Amino acid sequence: MADFDYIASASRTISMERDAVDSLLQRLAEPFTIACDTLLQCHGRVVVTGMGKSGHVGRKLAATLASTGTPAFFVHPGEASHGDMGMITAEDVVIALSNSGNTAEVVTLLPLIKRLGAPLISMTGNPQSTLAQAAVANLDTGVEQEACPLNLAPTSSTTTALVMGDALAIALLEARGFSAEDFAFSHPGGSLGRRLLLLVDDIMHAGGSMPLVKPNAPLRDALLEMTRKGLGLTGVIDADGKLAGIFTDGDLRRSLDHNIDFQRASISDVMTRHCKTARSGMLAAEALKIMEDARINGLFVVDTEGRPVGALNMHDLLRAGVV
């Protein structure tokens, strides 16, 4: 098969699946609106079911719905016939996927779903099928031909089902006003969750770990404080305990350029006044943005009265996975 044109084969497959997806735009009509309204009015859970490749697509749809504000789970139709029907209640909405619309394991469940009184939404490639006719709304995902040259393996049809499922999930997401913060609560272990949920209070160095000196402290004492605490900075607090300024590694380098007398200078002579700070309760990602915009490597966290309650640097954000 050395002379086989793999690129041509792949290009044909991609083109066929792209055309199949494009054809969905012409079929977005009232049934899609009915399906969305039915799902938004659901007081229970969305139960997704499907057999074979449709089942794989259904699992992905359930996962996408659950992570975008629509509580959902997948039930295997075969298992449903042997006890898992007990997972479905009258308060739920069922989404059933079947390209033919006549898959035996799915069709078997239809009388039971009807008896429960749970609304049924179908996703099929055959609007005249048993499944489509039993649904309150049928989402037509049919294709003229599979990308498989034998027109047998589910390829284009599974792609259109995936895309229609995503369209459904995103329409519901937008209708609910689902936010990035809401999304983070569904993904607390991911990088997005860390960016949207982690507060500066969770990672800052507080109490005795904060490097702090008084304005009249000799510069050498401030350098010792920086070294002991290891954050590359020290804060300067006034008589009221409020942050009066900051001294960093960068300030030290600038002091060397200006030939400062390290034996006689006090920290107030070389500190940066009106320094950038973060507020207690601020997202760590917001603190990162402040540091990036100001091109600094660390800052203090202050309370509403301007008193330092913690300090952090870029290394802390890196360790926390915010960067």
CATH number, domain of 306, equals 3.10.580.10
104 and 235 both lie in a single domain: no
**3-state DSSP call for residue 234?**
strand
Say what the pLDDT of residue 219 is: 86
Q: Please give the Cα distance from 142 to 161 (Å, whole number).
A: 9
117 and 41 both lie in a single domain: yes
310 and 211 both lie in a single domain: yes
Of 255 and 174, the one with more pLDDT: 174
Write out 40-64 in H/E/C secondary structure.
HCCCCCEEEEECCHHHHHHHHHHHH
CATH number for 78: 3.40.50.10490
Which residues share a beta bridge with 97? Answer: 50, 123
- Asked whether residue 178 carries a pLDDT value surpassing 90, the answer given is no
Domain-located, residue 1: no
Domain-located, residue 80: yes
Say what the pLDDT of residue 190 is: 65
Domain-located, residue 191: no
53 and 170 both lie in a single domain: yes
Which pair of structure tokens corresponds to residue 313?
Answer: 């640097």
Report percent pLDDT > 70 for the chain. Answer: 95
Which residue, 219, 213, 269, is CA-closest to 236?
A: 213
314 and 170 both lie in a single domain: no
174 and 204 both lie in a single domain: no
Which residues share a beta bridge with 59? Answer: none
- The boundaries of the domain holding residue 151 are 6-178
Say what the pLDDT of residue 121 is: 97
What is the count of structural domains for the chain?
Answer: 2
Domain-located, residue 204: yes
Chosen domain end from 178, 208, 242: 178
173 and 237 both lie in a single domain: no
110 and 160 both lie in a single domain: yes
Chosen domain end from 143, 178, 213: 178
Chosen domain end from 124, 143, 178: 178
Say what the pLDDT of residue 222 is: 87
Question: How many CB atoms lie under 10 A from the CB of residue 5?
Answer: 9
Domain-located, residue 254: yes
155 and 221 both lie in a single domain: no
Of 126 and 270, the one with more pLDDT: 126
Please calculate the CA angle 123-125-130 and round it to the nearest 5 degrees.
75
Say what the pLDDT of residue 191 is: 65
Q: Please give the Cα distance from 63 to 85 (Å, whole number).
A: 19
Which pair of structure tokens corresponds to residue 196?
Answer: 């949207």
pTM over 0.85: no
Say what the pLDDT of residue 187 is: 64
- Asked whether residue 36 carries a pLDDT value surpassing 90, the answer given is yes
- Asked whether residue 185 carries a pLDDT value surpassing 80, the answer given is no
Q: Cβ distance 277 to 263 under 8 Å?
A: no
169 and 266 both lie in a single domain: no
Q: Please give the Cα distance from 115 to 135 (Å, whole number).
A: 13
The dihedrals phi and psi of 304, each to the nearest 5 degrees, come to -65, -20
Q: How many Å separate Cα 107 from the centre of its chain?
A: 35
Q: Please give the Cα distance from 306 to 242 (Å, whole number).
A: 5
223 and 306 both lie in a single domain: yes
